[in-house]
Amino acid sequence: MTAISLLGIPHDANSSFMRGSASAPAYIRRELFSDVYSSWSETGVNLGAPGRLVDRADIIFDEKSDPWDLIEHAVAQIMELDGPLICLGGDHAITHPIMRGVRRHHPKLTILHIDAHPDIYDCYQGNPRSHTSSFARIMEERLADRLIQVGLRTINDHHRAQFERFGVEVIEAGRCHDDLRLDIATPIYLSIDIDGLDPAYAPGVAHREPGGLSPRQVINLIHRLTSPIVGADIVEYNPSCDIANITATVAAKLVKEIGGMMIMNANAQLTPKANVAETATDGVSVLGEEG
C-alpha cells in the first residue's frame, strides 16, 4: 500500500507583510484528523486507513542551523521512503528548499502552482528568500522543468518579464473555469497558496485578493491530473486572520483530495500529451483551456 507522508514546516520568517502562517500546521491537522469529517477523498481513497497517511510531525527550527538546509534535508530524507509527501506551511518561501529536496529524487518534474500571486520577484524588499521570490529561486536553480501558474490576479510588468525569462505558463484567474484541464507528461509537484482561492472561501490569509478560485474549481483541477503527484504543499494559511476555522477546513479538504489523487495516480504511465499551449499577445505563455 502506498503511504503518504505529512510534514509540517512551521516557518514564516520571510513573510513580507504579516507573520502567523508558522502556526498553521497544527490548525490544519486538527481539522484533518477531526472525527467531525470523513477521512475519505471524493475519489474513493480512505486517508484514515492504517498506514495510509503517516504524520512525520513538524520540522524543529533552531537559531544555529540554516532553515533552508533543515527543510531540504527533511524532505529528501522522507522521500527516500519512495512515497509522496504533503507539506503544511508556513509561508511560500519554504517551497524553494522543499524543491531542492524533491528534485534529488525526480529528474523530470512539473510544478503546478495555484496562487493569487506569481511569487516570482527577483528580490523583494532586499530579501532573495522572500515568500514573493520563491519561484524565481526555483527556476534559477532548475529545480523544475516546467512551471504552470494558475489563478493569478496580481500580475505586473516585472512579473511578465520574469515569466518570459523562465518560460512560465500562466492561466490567470479570469481564464479559469470548472472544466480546466492541464496536459502534463512528467511527475507533478503541486504548490497551493491558500490565497489562490477567493477570500470568500479562504479568509484566513494575510494577502486577501478578491476574484479568486472556488474550492470546487481547485478540486476539479486536481482530480483531472493524470500524472503521478509526487509532492505537494499548502502554504500561507494564517490562523490569526481566519473566521470560524473556515480556511483550516478548506486546507484539510485539499489535503484529502491531493492525497487521494496521489494514490490514484501512483502507477500512472507517463506518455507525451498533445501540445495545447498558446501564446498570448502580451508575451505571457498561457495554456489552452481544453485538454
* pLDDT tens-digit map of 240-257: 999 999 999 999 999 999
Sign of CA dihedral 136, 58, 110, 157: negative
Cα–Cα distance for residue pair 123/128, rounded to 1 Å: 5
Cα–Cα distance for residue pair 172/113, rounded to 1 Å: 12
DSSP lists the bridge partners of residue 279 as: 285
Res 269: pLDDT: 73
pTM over 0.95: no
C-alpha cell at 4: 503518504
Res 54: pLDDT: 96
Judge contact between 163 and 47, C-beta under 8 A: no
Res 271: pLDDT: 65
Q: Supply the range of the domain harboring residue 175.
A: 4-287
Specify the DSSP class assigned to residue 197.
B
Res 272: pLDDT: 56
Residue 105, SS3 per DSSP: coil
Res 259: pLDDT: 98
CB neighbour class for 175 (10 Å; exposed up to 12, middle 13-18, buried from 19): middle
**Could you give the C-alpha distances from 114 to 43, 53, 211, 261, in angstroms and in order?**
21, 23, 14, 16
Nearest alpha-carbon partner for 120 in 189, 226, 45, 193: 193
C-alpha cell at 279: 501564446
Sign of CA dihedral 109, 220, 290, 284: negative
Sign of CA dihedral 263, 56, 29, 240: negative
C-alpha cell at 7: 510534514
The strand order across the sheet containing 277-279 reads 53-58, 4-9, 85-89, 229-235, 188-193, 110-114, 146-152, 169-172, 285-287, 277-279
Nearest alpha-carbon partner for 153 in 114, 109, 123: 114
Provide φ and ψ at 46, rounded to 5°. Answer: -90, 100
Res 244: pLDDT: 96
Res 281: pLDDT: 32
- State how many domains the chain has: 1
Cα–Cα distance for residue pair 179/268, rounded to 1 Å: 21
Along the 291 residues of the chain, how does pLDDT read in single tens digits? Answer: 789 999 999 999 988 888 999 999 999 999 999 999 999 999 999 999 999 999 999 999 998 999 999 999 999 999 998 789 999 999 999 999 999 999 999 999 999 999 999 999 999 888 998 999 999 999 999 999 999 999 999 999 999 999 999 999 999 999 998 889 999 999 999 999 999 999 999 999 999 999 999 999 999 999 999 999 999 999 999 999 999 999 999 999 999 999 999 999 988 877 655 443 333 334 344 443 333
Judge contact between 150 and 196, C-beta under 8 A: yes
Res 82: pLDDT: 78
**Could you give the C-alpha distances from 211 to 152, 214, 264, in angstroms and in order?**
10, 9, 31
Cα–Cα distance for residue pair 114/222, rounded to 1 Å: 11
CATH number at residue 259: 3.40.800.10
